Structure 1
Amino acid sequence: MNGAVGALVGRVELRARVASRTLLGTLDPWEARGPDECRARRRRVTVLVVTLAALILAADYASAPFVRFPPFFVVPVALASWLIGPALGVVLAILLPAVRLLYFVLVFRPPWVAAELINSAVQMGVLLLVAYLVSRAARDTREIRLLKSFLPICLYCQKIRDADGHWRRLDEYMFEHTGIRFSHGWCPECEREHFPELAEPS
């Protein structure tokens, strides 16, 4: 029983820490999983996104100049921005069109290099906008999810306001949402304060 209470207190402290960081705008999306797992998962996702970007570049190279794959550059940029954060999304948004332009100009030597340069600049601008918008949407989604996890509780009667706006007793709410039942009693301090005749002499 004591271990369960300790685990519950640990989760509450972690949520409070994550909440305070969210309000300050520094929430790591995987922080709640622990630092080692966070780094490992971040590495795996980064490798996956970069591999996907490389595959799209390879397909673009293999099919050039007839079939063009730059519209698919949105996929790794959006995934990186959503799952990792805006930094990797911005890097991919700049690198993908730049690498494509570089090998297209070096391999095919088209006479319309100026047009390709303008197209690459437009692609970079669009991909940077995608990276920004997706990272903002990801941050907003995390904040909304976190705010939904907070329950308003009355300071005096300890009733909880549910999603419908009704105030209910804590034990009713917990039973409905988790199946946990409370047994009512009193602690030694409340026994001494409210029931001095029942309190054991100390």
Structure 2
Amino acid sequence: MTGPTLQPPSEYFFERYPWNDRRVLFCMALLMACSDFLASPIIFFPFLFVIPVALMAWNCGLRTALWLGAILCLIRFCIQYYWGIPYTLPVAITNAILRLAILFFITFLCGRLSEQTQALRARVRTLEGLLPTCAYCKDIRDEEGEWQQMEEYVASRSAAQFTHGICPKCVAKHFSDVVSPDEKKDAGAKH
């Protein structure tokens, strides 16, 4: 029985603290919304909303990121309303819906890419690194120091399945008294 494997630290900076903490990302989003408000009605930075939402989708899940994106779009609409919308209300609502749709699309892409990346990492991580192997019987020592047959070790950590047979070289070497001379010649010719 094997225990849970420890996740190695990520090589990507945006998957480590503070970029993977929901509270930090939410505070970052609110800080960007405040800077959007303080910049006046003429200058605004809605593209900055993509940063915390994309990080949230990558590190914390798609649903959380979609909620954050919706909240940020609502805050942006309220800021425009507070400053006095420079165009008609239907145009402002259309802009808000477009902003929300684009932000949701980017969030969805980041979330799906994160899921696929995690799945690929899990597949790669199953059998990587150095394997301590017995020079005689080829058993492998696991993380707890227990020795396991190579087939058992690999099968428990991957989707690989083993079948067994005897290669022609081993047939000729180990079963020479049972194998006919013609079969020995065929076995030797294959190598």
TM-score range, shorter chain: 0.5 to 0.7
Q: Among 53, 65, 77, which residue is 1:89 paired with?
A: 65
Q: CA deviation at 1:127?
A: 0.8
* Count of residue pairs the alignment pairs up: 132
Measured on the aligned residues, the alpha-carbon RMSD in Å equals 3.7
Q: CA 1:111/1:123 → structure 2, altered by over 3 Å: closer, same or farther?
A: closer
Question: What's the counterpart of residue 82 of structure 2?
Answer: 106
Q: CA 1:136/1:114 → structure 2, altered by over 3 Å: closer, same or farther?
A: same
Deviations 1:51-92 (A, max 9, x none): 111111111111131111101110011010011111111001
**After the TM superposition, which residues 30-49 of structure 1 pair with which residues of structure 2 at under 5 Å, given as runs?**
45-49=21-25
Which residue identity is paired with 2:3? E
Which residue identity is paired with 1:63? A
In 2, Cα distance between equivalents of 1:115 and 1:69: 19
Aligned residue for 1:14, secondary structure, equals coil
Give yes or no for contact 2:85–2:92 (8 Å, CA) kept in 1.
no
Unaligned 5+ segments in structure 2 are 10-16, 148-191
**After the TM superposition, which residues 20-59 of structure 1 pair with which residues of structure 2 at under 5 Å, given as runs?**
45-59=21-35
Question: What's the counterpart of residue 115 of structure 1?
Answer: 91
Deviations 1:166-186 (A, max 9, x none): xx99447999xx9x9x9xxxx
Q: CA 1:137/1:174 → structure 2, altered by over 3 Å: closer, same or farther?
A: farther
Deviations 1:22-52 (A, max 9, x none): xxxxxxxx8x99xxxxxxx89x811101111
Question: TM-score, normalising length from structure 1?
Answer: 0.55
Unaligned 5+ segments in structure 1 are 1-8, 19-29, 34-40, 152-161, 183-202
Question: TM-score, normalising length from structure 2?
Answer: 0.58
In 2, Cα distance between equivalents of 1:174 and 1:65: 69
Which of these two proteins has the greater Rg computed from alpha carbons? 2
Q: Which one has the bigger helix percentage? A: 1
Percent identical residues: 19
